[in-house]
Amino acid sequence: MIHVATQPKTALKFSPVQQSLFFATARSRVDKYFAQRNLSPHANRAMWQKAFFFLLTYCLLYGLILSNQFSGLAMLGLALLLGLCAAGVGFNVSHDAIHGAFSNKGWINQLLSKSFYLLGANPYLWKLTHNVVHHTYTNIAGHDEDIELAPGLVRLHKDEPHRPWQRFQHIYAFFLYGLASLSWVFRKDYVKFFQAKIGPLDNKHHPQTEYISLFVYKAAYYVFFLVLPIVVLDISWWQVLIGFMAMHLTEGLALGLVFQLAHIVEGTSFPIPTSKGTIDESWAIHQLQTTANFAPQSRLVTFFCGGLNRQIEHHLFPKICHIHYPAIAPIVKQTASEFGLPYIENLTFQSALVSHYQLLKRLGVPPSTKPN
């Protein structure tokens, strides 16, 4: 069972101005959409089919590797596919479940949230860092730790100190994204679990069962993905490590890019709290200013990314299953337009990637230097 720690102890507050206007209107219209069609905002048959597809494919790929029936090169290819599939499980199953969006039954969400262990990650910590902190304080430095990808290595907003090597960050950042899931497996979860605060969140006290879960599931992951392959497969231990690294480089790149293209592109903002610890906009308007959609009409991107290419809808309505985002997106976009608010989107994956690349390149230039 996933428990929730205490709420953030912080003076940071959002302005209530227009809160009752834009967000209340958008929420009312979205609620009306479901009510008029007698639809549940949770998973439908298509969503269950997606979940079954990704979980079955994950198990199949893992089983094929352990079958010992393929050459080392073929198993490397299977490892790369397994990395992509692991990211797909995270996007399409774990993410919705941890948000409580997959089902109206808590035990189903809790059960499916355990699929996050298949990525080598901890669902309890993700709920704290992502659901509680990132979704509340999106793109606010010192609060949203999700934007602190590699402090000192990648400069993601103009208020960060500049370092000389960041001039090349638009080149090396993508390799660092590939290391993201490896860091998750071996470092990040442990660090986050034992640090005093996650952003503004008091992180000193955890349920006893979560201490056990952290170490037991991590150990199980190491056994299934490192020890067992070394014992079972007719390849050298270093070949197993290469396959493990390849799997995680693929997984990490997929996970990293989806997050970056949703928040770190041209047009998104990185608000700075006032001296009184307030943000000048309401929470919902803040989400519009710090979040972007990408490739919203691509069926392939939508299928693989679990709807996270429609990040605006996800941030405003995280309790709604992503299978419904294509239907509610026009409602949100129209409402934002009526209130004169931004609705940031890149129409293709390629344009979002270029936008992210250009932003990294611009932020890599020293503040005192004017680019040509």
pLDDT in tens, 86-115: 999 999 999 999 999 999 999 999 999 999
Q: Which of 155, 177, 187 is nearest to 168 (CA)?
A: 155
Instruction: Quote the DSSP letter at residue 313.
Output: H
Confidence of residue 2 (pLDDT cuts 50, 70, 90): very low
Q: What is the pLDDT of residue 7?
A: 39
- Pairing between β-strand 344-346 and β-strand 292-294 as defined by DSSP bridges: parallel
What is the model's pTM?
Answer: 0.91
Q: What is the pLDDT of residue 3?
A: 40
The pLDDT of residue 372 is above 60: no
Asked whether residue 368 is domain-assigned, the answer is no
Asked whether residue 369 is domain-assigned, the answer is no
Q: What is the pLDDT of residue 371?
A: 53
Tell me how many domains the chain contains.
1
Asked whether residue 63 is domain-assigned, the answer is yes
Q: What is the pLDDT of residue 325?
A: 98
Q: Which of 99, 130, 96, 94 is nearest to 114 (CA)?
A: 94
Asked whether residue 4 is domain-assigned, the answer is no
pLDDT in tens, 144-195: 877 776 777 888 878 788 999 999 999 999 999 999 999 999 999 999 999 9
pLDDT in tens, 33-56: 999 999 999 999 999 999 999 999
CA distance 196 to 63: 40
Residue indicated by tokens 């610890």: 277
pLDDT in tens, 190-215: 999 999 888 788 888 899 999 999 99
Token output for 298 = 């691509």
pLDDT in tens, 229-263: 999 999 999 999 999 999 999 999 999 999 999 99
Asked whether residue 89 is domain-assigned, the answer is yes
Token output for 149 = 């990808």
Q: What's the average model confidence in pLDDT over 346-364?
A: 96
Q: What is the pLDDT of residue 11?
A: 57
Least confident of 126-135, 292-301, 344-353: 126-135
Asked whether residue 6 is domain-assigned, the answer is no
Asked whether residue 103 is domain-assigned, the answer is yes
Domain that holds residue 128: 13-363
The vertex-181 CA angle with 180 and 183, nearest 5°, equals 70
Strand partners, 197: 202
First-to-last CA distance in the chain?
A: 55
pLDDT in tens, 260-292: 999 999 999 998 888 788 888 899 999 999 999
pLDDT in tens, 292-313: 999 999 999 999 999 999 999 9
Q: Taking a C-beta distance cutoff of 8 angstroms, is the pair 23, 332 a contact?
A: no
User: In sequence order, what are the residues at sequence separation of 6 or more whose Cβ sits closer than 8 angstroms to the Cβ of residue 163?
Assistant: 152, 155
Q: What is the pLDDT of residue 20?
A: 63
CA distance 262 to 214: 29
Q: What is the pLDDT of residue 161?
A: 87
Q: What is the pLDDT of residue 4?
A: 38
